[in-house]
Amino acid sequence: MAQDAFQGVPLRSALGRVRGKGSARGGTHHWFMQRVTSVALLPLMLWFTLSVATLAGASHAETVAWIGRPVNALLLLASIALAFHHTAAGLQVILEDYLHKEWPRLVAILLAKGACWLAAIAAAFAVLRIAI
Amino acid sequence: MIGRRTDGTPIRRPLSPHLQVYDMAQMTSATSIASRITGVIWTVGLLILVWWLLAAAAGPRAYATVSWFLSSWLGVLGLFGLTAAAWYHTLNGVRHLAYDAGFGFDIPTTYKTGRAVIIGTAVATILTWIIALTAWA
């Protein structure tokens, strides 16, 4: 498919080709969203790491009480969504870099994305079950 | 490598250095690949987080299993490594955001910030564990 795109007279300008924006105008979207999620995750991860550190050795009741506090539940849900988006994006880039055959690459990326989706939903479900 | 010009005509392009000839102990490449590796380690950390949350939601018995594992020597060792990886990925992520914005690409600055990230990771990891061990005790 990529070969065919170069056959014959190119109908797109060199600038358009370099920008990589097709009809969806999404050339840098994946890359950009990885940066956006990373900026959002900075304060969330500081909060999460330090909070969880204070939960070391906590009993089940103490842990559930902490997760169930509305502010903590809200920030946990935000962290889960952003962290798994960021992870899925990162894993995809790694798989794209190291898997050169199209089918294994496609299957691996879909599996990684599916696993991230399921894990994120499971984590959010657990938080909601405790908090609500 | 056979590449393509923007008009589609083929061209022989120079290859970038392979692992065999590239010195991976340099600050630049070492901090770069470590960022990716610590990102993958974070993925494992997220799975532990999911396990921890699900266990907390399931009840005291499931939670006892996860806290037994996390407080075992293997669990503590894993969490310590995870903490270091998390701090490294976070601090080096800030460095990469600066790169993306166009700052800090010259070699002296790269080495300086690289050293700062490594020292920062060590300090933040130890501080986190001081908090954790104080809470645990």
Residues of A in contact with B59 (CB under 8 A): 60
Q: Per-residue pLDDT averaged across B66-78, rounded?
A: 94
Asked if pLDDT for residue A17 goes beyond 50, the answer is yes
Both structure tokens of A63: 């842990």
Structure confidence at residue A24 (pLDDT)? 60
Asked if pLDDT for residue B36 goes beyond 80, the answer is yes
Q: Domains of chain A (ranges plus CATH)?
A: 30-131 (1.20.1300)
B66-85: b or e for each residue (b if 16 or more CB lie within 10 Å)?
A: bbeebeeeeebebbeebbbb
CA distance between the termini of chain A:
50
Which residues fall within 8 angstroms of residue B33, CB to CB, at 6 or more apart?
A: B24
Q: Per-residue pLDDT averaged across B69-90, rounded?
A: 95
Asked if pLDDT for residue B39 goes beyond 80, the answer is yes
> A67–B56: do the CB atoms touch at under 8 Å?
yes
ipTM of the complex: 0.84
Q: What pLDDT band is residue A23 in, cutting at 50, 70 and 90?
A: low
Chain B residue set in contact with A, beta carbons under 8 Å: 4, 6-8, 36, 39-40, 42-43, 46-47, 49-50, 53-54, 56-57, 59-60, 63-64, 67, 71, 83, 86-87, 90, 93-94, 97, 100, 128-129, 131-133, 135-137
Q: For A107-129, what is each residue's pLDDT tens digit?
A: 999 999 999 999 999 999 999 99
Q: What pLDDT band is residue B29 in, cutting at 50, 70 and 90?
A: confident
Q: For A73-94, what is each residue's pLDDT tens digit?
A: 999 999 999 999 999 999 999 9
Report the percent of chain A where pLDDT is more than 90. 68
Q: What pLDDT band is residue A1 in, cutting at 50, 70 and 90?
A: very low
Q: How far apart are CA B119 and CA A116, in angstroms?
A: 32
Residue with tokens 């809200």: A74
Q: Where are the domains of chain B?
A: 25-136
Is A60's Cβ below 8 Å from some Cβ in B?
A: yes
Q: How far apart are CA B89 and CA B34, in angstroms?
A: 8
Residue-wise DSSP of B9-57? -EEE-PPPPPTTTS-TTSHHHHHHHHHHHHHHHHHHHHHHHHHHHHHHH
Both structure tokens of B131: 């908090």
Asked if pLDDT for residue B20 goes beyond 80, the answer is no
**β-pairing verdict for B2-4 and B10-12:** antiparallel
Asked if pLDDT for residue A3 goes beyond 70, the answer is no
Fold of B25-136: 3 helical TM bundles of succinate and fumarate reductases (1.20.1300)
Q: How far apart are CA A65 and CA A10, in angstroms?
A: 62
Q: How far apart are CA B133 and CA B76, in angstroms?
A: 11
Quote the pTM value. Answer: 0.84
Residue type, A58: A
Nearest-CB residue to A60 (from B63, B86, B93): B63
Asked if pLDDT for residue A21 goes beyond 70, the answer is no
Structure confidence at residue B124 (pLDDT)? 96
Residue with tokens 């005291």: B60
Q: Tell me if A109 sits within 8 A of A92, measured CB to CB.
A: yes
Q: How far apart are CA B132 and CA B78, in angstroms?
A: 14
